[in-house]
Structure 1
Amino acid sequence: MFSSKENKNQKPKVMERNVVAKNTTIVGDIKSDGDFRIDGTLEGTLITNGRVIIGAEGLIKGKVEAANADIEGKFSGELFVSNTLTIKTTADISGDVVIGKLSVEPGASFNATCAMKGAIKELNSSNEQKRPTEKTA
């Protein structure tokens, strides 16, 4: 009764999974809607709406923009994660990091400047509420 022919013809959106295999080096920029697993080396920019996973032997030097990221290997550069960044015990991160949420396992090396977008918004709104209103004489 409520179904339409258009809904029957639409395919569900499936996130693609891309892998940069061990002993593989890519130099350049990558843009995708799918997830990425890096077990080799990427030197450049990676922009995705999905998840980025850097394996234990993986290395990224450059810029990464992703919805989520799990890092076990090495990262050096600029990292922008709109949701959750998970840093595993074997991870080694340096550079500039902007995230929504952060999870760090004990033993990880995290030598980066870090800004949390959600916390910044909350702090700004609470500071505005605490300010007294100015009165003129």
Structure 2
Amino acid sequence: MAKSYEPENKLPNMIGSGTKISGNIETNGDIRIDGEIEGNILSKGKVVVGPNGMVKGEINCANSEVSGKIEGKVLVSELLSLKASSNVFGDINTAKLTIEPGAVFTGKCDMGGKGSVSKPAENIKK
């Protein structure tokens, strides 16, 4: 019986500083963004936006840690952590939220329920 191939790579995907991507990203694993993404991100793992990272689009994931800038909706099914250097401009839907002093958040927050990581983000076009 043939098995479906699922890579067991434990290394996160990384978008380095100085890199700019225009388009949607979909991954089963974790991803770290230190560059710029103009598009939507769908991850079954953790999305980390580093201090120099910037995302213009919707993020849909299980967990997220933000130190950089996000312009768009953030849907997190478990824990969203906004670090002191973070700037988030858009609505948040998460089960749990931590915000460090100094973080900037402008938008509506809906928490306590489960975010939707099992289905693709509404705005992702294939």
1:62 aligns with 2:52: no
- CA separation in 1, counterparts of 2:25 and 2:99? 26
Structure 2 length-normalised TM: 0.81
Distance 2:67 2:77 in 1: 19
Q: Quick one: distance in 2 between partners of 1:39 and 1:80?
A: 20
Query: Residue 108 of structure 1 aligns to which amino acid in structure 2?
Result: A
With the length of structure 1 as denominator, give the TM-score of the two structures: 0.75
Aligned residues: 109
**Which SS does the other structure have where 1:110 is aligned?**
strand
Q: What amino acid does structure 1 have at the position aligned with 2:60?
A: E
The change in CA–CA distance for 1:16 and 1:34 in structure 2 (over 3 A counts) is farther
Which stretches in structure 2 are left out of the alignment for 5+ residues? 1-5, 115-126
- 1: distance between equivalents of 2:102 and 2:82? 10
* Greater helix fraction, Structure 1 or Structure 2: 1
2:24 is equivalent to residue 29 of structure 1:
yes
Residue matched to 1:7? none
1:57-108 CA-to-partner distances (Å, cap 9, x unmatched) read 0000001100000000000101100000000000000111110100000010
Counterpart selection for 1:104 from 83, 99, 102: 99
Partner of 1:90 in structure 2? 85
Instruction: Supply the distance in 2 between the matched residues of 1:118 and 1:61 (Cα, whole angstroms).
Output: 24
Distance in 2 (alpha carbons) for counterparts of 1:40 and 1:12: 25
The structure richer in strand per residue is 1
Residue ranges of structure 1 left out of the alignment (5+ in a row):
1-10, 120-137
Shift in Å at residue 23 of structure 1? 0.4
Counterparts of 1:86 and 1:20, CA distance in 2? 20
- Distance in 2 separating the partners of 1:76 and 1:12: 31
Question: What amino acid sits opposite 1:88 in the alignment?
Answer: K
Instruction: State the Cα distance separating 1:32 from its structure 2 match.
Output: 0.6
